[in-house]
Structure 1
């Protein structure tokens, strides 16, 4: 369909265009991707048999989604990649604040415009990239931010009363009509704000001050939450959680090879650094093992988690440590030494939350201990366990 040639409602009708709800649209595009054996979520590693199939099932079921998992588990990235499952363009009533469907307008502006101009109603085309809204939940978020409020300045400029629907300033959710809308860290929203989402999810109603508007908003909601938030800052109120049809649990990489691939993909290493610094596979594995050791360490708070960003930052620091040494010594190229691993300590201390005993030990010491354990674990993958050999020797002497 040539969108440049379709500029009015009449031309849109002649083209044979049919409107789909956003959930039906994403569902049909996902089906096409699966039929063609394409990966709908490229760049998401380690979720091939867990989170991605769960997400695909939720989309096929036309569900709103809650991703529940610790920090650094690609929850928001998954939501952002859903944009690629949208149609490239959709038509909207030109000038509409809430992306009105020309065939089913819901705002007073669009209804009045179509009633006035009929088939001559101007339409515009919305790109898929413009159909994504995201809001980080913070305690200061208000109902007006999300849903909307009466705008006295707008009412004064238009010379209309506050009872006129045109005086409403729509919040970010109505403005995300026919789009994907993501709320990150949902438990941080105050309970009364979460309550305001009830009717939107279930009934499509929005209430603004004295207005009770029947607005069947067409939105795919995706929420993210960290289980730690349930104890630290707040919780998801039960009735809201009940209205989110699919809750998907995310996780950290289960295999070392997956973690290596993630770090290699995400680490921001300059081409000049790649050319000047060679990193042995053993050193890369030690960096990943630091995170694996931290997730099971008694001094590290397991509820907080150890983000994949730790190993990404650590790997960047490791390369920079070797680069710095080469620059100081006037060398054009070098390789990472085992002693360079001390350069990743700042990347560890800033990305682990410690329990009380860990605070007593000190972040630096805990980081060094984690590094030592990672080196030991890597050593045992290549060489026999010295402790085992020592015990065998001692038992031989005793006999």
Structure 2
């Protein structure tokens, strides 16, 4: 049998026969797909590409049957958004996510691509993810025999680059497997995106270098739609595209193909489109043209976290800790920051059309940690543990717009300070609910008579340099450490408070342990080392000034808001309330 005949037999058999491989975890993929490295390997197992919508559907079915969660890391959508997504994928729909900024819309698109698309074999080095077995078998036979393709049909199968690679390498052409994560293409819709950016354009450089005709397909440079071929194209903020550009997407959604310019060729990208829109743009007439909105078959509304716990879990999962090994994050502080932004988000003075992103919650925690480092932990070489007196720094990371009152910096600062004070009160009352017996509060009140407690961000600070006389009357400069600010030193004079704080610290540990357990139930492992209580307290009489400080501020703020109030706060000093 001649070489040409053996190639014809191999290719024709592969195209006309059922796959011979055992399927892997992913739909339509050989169990040993990583060992399939050449075009010959691919043909010998009779590989058949499965369309994107089939991959998404079948892989989701398998995960549902195996009770696996393809949306790990998405918190608070279990009863609302996730069921809607599953319905859409099982139905083969393209999706439009409608929701305010910071609601996880693009993250959902990323997870769909990463967890529900099967790996696919492409010719290594091709920009348009060319699968060699997706061209007609006669084309592949011609290329393997080193012949030019007789293109009778005006359809794009593989790029010119792919054709040359197969001509030059034959059955030894290298195959690369792309997973779903690699086939996710994100595009932020901006006014400067052109139709050519979407569908591709004539590449003048190619024309000059190769000496080809202007309308030769070899002069074509692929756009976003073909670069996302066999995958998912996420169009973020779809309404920003003007109607003329939106029309470009209609034929892809309706017919699965598009054309560009004067090329006598049509392209079938087999791409799943997931778009996002802000509610104000989505509902505004004309922002998304009606035919396009109609062809995005499932419109799914997202939302901000409904509970403090859900948003706090998201906060821990998403915060960037930059390998801060000496950091401990009390859960009551995390929940306080979460409460601040949940309260801002629903406040009548806030412009609700703009939304208040969960990113503000995350960025504010990161800013608070930076403030602790700046104010005390780095210079004094102590643990980085946030406390209430650090919260005032979050203005720089709080993104919101006032609506009912003038949106000035002064008004924003006043508004935020009021919210912080309200949240400190709510956090303390929630933490100490049923914690005290009446007689314990009386004992604390009696202990505070004629005494006060100073609260400062940096209790380690030095006194200003003083000029003193030595024994011979010579003027000397002297720097002394002011130990009156030390929380540990102050607590030595307050034995009842010190005993109470041991109970407070025990309750903090209990909350930390419960939160870690809940995080793991939600399959969150990231950043939990910063929640581990054992990293800051050994259970003995204390050696940790910073943990005492954050616990003390929690306790004293509660005593200010208890009923009846025990303490007053005057600037940086807690005193008995008469």
Name the TM-score, length of structure 1 as normaliser. Answer: 0.85
Counterpart check, 1:29 vs 2:59: yes
Secondary structure, in 3 states, of the residue corresponding to 1:199? Answer: helix
Tell me the distance in 2 between the aligned counterparts of 1:43 and 1:2: 28
Residues 121 and 235 (structure 1), Cα distance of their counterparts in 2 relative to 1, 3 Å cut? farther
Q: 1:224 aligns with which of 276, 296, 300?
A: 276
Match of 1:364 in 2: 413
Deviation of 1:264 after TM superposition, in Å, equals 1.4
Tell me the distance in 1 between the aligned counterparts of 2:174 and 2:382: 60
Residues 272 and 142 (structure 1), Cα distance of their counterparts in 2 relative to 1, 3 Å cut? closer
How do residues 324-339 of structure 1 correspond to structure 2 at under 5 angstroms? 324-327=374-377, 330=380, 332-333=382-383, 335-339=385-389
Counterpart check, 1:138 vs 2:190: yes
Deviation of 1:93 after TM superposition, in Å, equals 4.4
Match of 2:359 in 1: 309
Tell me the distance in 2 between the aligned counterparts of 1:15 and 1:35: 28
Tell me the distance in 2 between the aligned counterparts of 1:31 and 1:231: 33
Deviation of 1:94 after TM superposition, in Å, equals 5.4
Counterpart check, 1:319 vs 2:350: no
Match of 1:378 in 2: 427
Residues 116 and 260 (structure 1), Cα distance of their counterparts in 2 relative to 1, 3 Å cut? closer
Counterpart check, 1:51 vs 2:101: no
Secondary structure, in 3 states, of the residue corresponding to 2:206? Answer: helix
Tell me the distance in 1 between the aligned counterparts of 2:109 and 2:378: 44
Contact 1:289–1:374 (8 Å) recurs in 2: yes
Contact 2:102–2:359 (8 Å) recurs in 1: yes
Tell me the distance in 1 between the aligned counterparts of 2:379 and 2:209: 69
Runs (5+) with no aligned partner, structure 2? 1-31, 136-154, 435-557, 565-578
Deviation of 1:231 after TM superposition, in Å, equals 8.0
Secondary structure, in 3 states, of the residue corresponding to 1:357? Answer: coil
Residues 147 and 383 (structure 1), Cα distance of their counterparts in 2 relative to 1, 3 Å cut? same
Deviation of 1:3 after TM superposition, in Å, equals 4.4
Match of 1:247 in 2: 299
Contact 2:95–2:273 (8 Å) recurs in 1: yes
Runs (5+) with no aligned partner, structure 1? 391-399
Secondary structure, in 3 states, of the residue corresponding to 1:228? Answer: helix
Secondary structure, in 3 states, of the residue corresponding to 2:348? Answer: coil
Deviation of 1:87 after TM superposition, in Å, equals 5.3
Deviation of 1:367 after TM superposition, in Å, equals 1.6
Deviation of 1:130 after TM superposition, in Å, equals 2.5
Match of 1:352 in 2: 400
Residues 131 and 383 (structure 1), Cα distance of their counterparts in 2 relative to 1, 3 Å cut? closer
Deviation of 1:244 after TM superposition, in Å, equals 0.4
Residues 383 and 85 (structure 1), Cα distance of their counterparts in 2 relative to 1, 3 Å cut? closer
Secondary structure, in 3 states, of the residue corresponding to 2:120? Answer: strand
Match of 1:154 in 2: 206
Tell me the distance in 2 between the aligned counterparts of 1:387 and 1:339: 16
Counterpart check, 1:80 vs 2:113: no
Contact 1:293–1:370 (8 Å) recurs in 2: yes
Counterpart check, 1:292 vs 2:342: yes
Residues 322 and 232 (structure 1), Cα distance of their counterparts in 2 relative to 1, 3 Å cut? farther
Secondary structure, in 3 states, of the residue corresponding to 1:76? Answer: helix
Deviation of 1:284 after TM superposition, in Å, equals 2.2
Deviation of 1:131 after TM superposition, in Å, equals 1.3
Secondary structure, in 3 states, of the residue corresponding to 1:344? Answer: helix
Secondary structure, in 3 states, of the residue corresponding to 2:407? Answer: helix
Aligned residues: 385
Q: 1:17 aligns with which of 42, 47, 62?
A: 47
**What are the Cα deviations for residues 76-100 of structure 1, in whole angstroms up to 9, with x where unaligned?**
1111112333556322345544223
**What are the Cα deviations for residues 297-346 of structure 1, in whole angstroms up to 9, with x where unaligned?**
12211111111111112222223333333337736236433222212232
Residues 171 and 333 (structure 1), Cα distance of their counterparts in 2 relative to 1, 3 Å cut? closer
Is 68-77 or 197-206 further displaced after alignment? Answer: 197-206
Secondary structure, in 3 states, of the residue corresponding to 1:362? Answer: helix
Counterpart check, 1:124 vs 2:175: yes
Secondary structure, in 3 states, of the residue corresponding to 1:103? Answer: helix
Match of 1:283 in 2: 333
Deviation of 1:142 after TM superposition, in Å, equals 0.3
Deviation of 1:150 after TM superposition, in Å, equals 1.7
Counterpart check, 1:7 vs 2:10: no
Q: For the aligned residues, what is the CA RMSD?
A: 3.2
Deviation of 1:232 after TM superposition, in Å, equals 9.1
Deviation of 1:2 after TM superposition, in Å, equals 4.5
Counterpart check, 1:164 vs 2:232: no
Deviation of 1:49 after TM superposition, in Å, equals 1.5
Match of 1:395 in 2: none
Secondary structure, in 3 states, of the residue corresponding to 2:337? Answer: helix
Tell me the distance in 2 between the aligned counterparts of 1:36 and 1:61: 20
Name the TM-score, length of structure 2 as normaliser. Answer: 0.60
Deviation of 1:122 after TM superposition, in Å, equals 3.4
Secondary structure, in 3 states, of the residue corresponding to 1:248? Answer: strand
Secondary structure, in 3 states, of the residue corresponding to 2:272? Answer: strand
Deviation of 1:146 after TM superposition, in Å, equals 0.9
Tell me the distance in 2 between the aligned counterparts of 1:116 and 1:318: 60
Contact 1:67–1:223 (8 Å) recurs in 2: yes
Match of 2:392 in 1: 342
Contact 1:295–1:305 (8 Å) recurs in 2: yes
Match of 2:531 in 1: none
